[in-house]
Amino acid sequence: MPNLGPGTLKFGPTGTQIDASCLVNNARIEMSKDQDDPKYKLCGTATPGKITYTYALTGNLDTDTADAAGLFAYSQAHAGEQVDFEFVPNTAAGTSATGVLTIDPLDFGGDEYGAPMDSDFEFSIIGKPNYVFAADRGSASPGDIFPPDPAITASDATNAAKLAGLGFVADPVTAWTSGQKMTVGTFDFNWSGTAWAAGAHA
């Protein structure tokens, strides 16, 4: 069973995300269940009450109050806004959660002199998170579109080299033809015949 960490937690649009991974002390996606009372019929039967599930990203993190471009400042500037998030509790396990949440302002200050300043948080998730499991990857053919993967980032020049390790297998295994590509999140890749390459096939 995987442990918590090493993993990642990011907020905001792809390409301009705030990476809070090294601030997080604990984090989890929690589910709450609300079920209406059943309706009883004269004949003795009952109609089950409607069930509603709601989700929230909760936890505790250190507040980076000295960083004007950090998460604390972001939470103040975007309070009440709906923003994208990516949460990977354990990178090696490969399962990620993405979606949209409402960000709230983080606390400012601490409990005692000399202690690290931190903040509990509970960000409501809009709808249900999108979970991507390592097993969901696999055969990748021209035209296929896969959900965003936290290991595939705009700033990393080795994206293509990561694909095989993430479980992506080219189909067909011969070199793809001009213009063919598959997409992971917002990033395009093609198969050269021996390895993954960035962008559409030349």
Average pLDDT over residues 73-79: 97
Taking 70 as the threshold, does the pLDDT of residue 171 lie above it? yes
User: pLDDT digit string (tens) for 83-126?
Assistant: 999 898 987 777 888 899 999 999 999 999 999 999 999 999 99
Q: According to the model, what pLDDT value does residue 94 have?
A: 72
Taking 80 as the threshold, does the pLDDT of residue 156 lie above it? no
| Cβ–Cβ under 8 Å, residues 141 and 110 | no
Q: How many CA atoms lie within 13 A of 161 on its CB side?
A: 3
| Cβ–Cβ under 8 Å, residues 170 and 201 | no
pTM beyond 0.85: no
- Band of the pLDDT at 160, cuts 50, 70, 90? confident
Per-residue tokens: 39 = 């309706």
- Band of the pLDDT at 137, cuts 50, 70, 90? low
Taking 60 as the threshold, does the pLDDT of residue 155 lie above it? no
CA 10, distance to chain mean position in Å, is 7
Q: For residue 25, what are the CA distances in angstroms to 5, 43, 68, 108?
A: 10, 55, 21, 16
Taking 80 as the threshold, does the pLDDT of residue 52 lie above it? yes
Taking 70 as the threshold, does the pLDDT of residue 39 lie above it? yes
- Band of the pLDDT at 17, cuts 50, 70, 90? confident
Residue that is written with structure tokens 């009440």 in the block: 80
Taking 70 as the threshold, does the pLDDT of residue 135 lie above it? no
Average pLDDT over residues 140-167: 76
Least confident range from 30-34, 106-110, 131-135, 172-176: namely 131-135
Q: According to the model, what pLDDT value does residue 66 have?
A: 96
The whole-angstrom separation of Cα 172 and Cα 182 is: 12
| Cβ–Cβ under 8 Å, residues 176 and 190 | yes
- Band of the pLDDT at 190, cuts 50, 70, 90? very high
Q: According to the model, what pLDDT value does residue 1 have?
A: 75
The whole-angstrom separation of Cα 175 and Cα 189 is: 12
Taking 80 as the threshold, does the pLDDT of residue 198 lie above it? yes
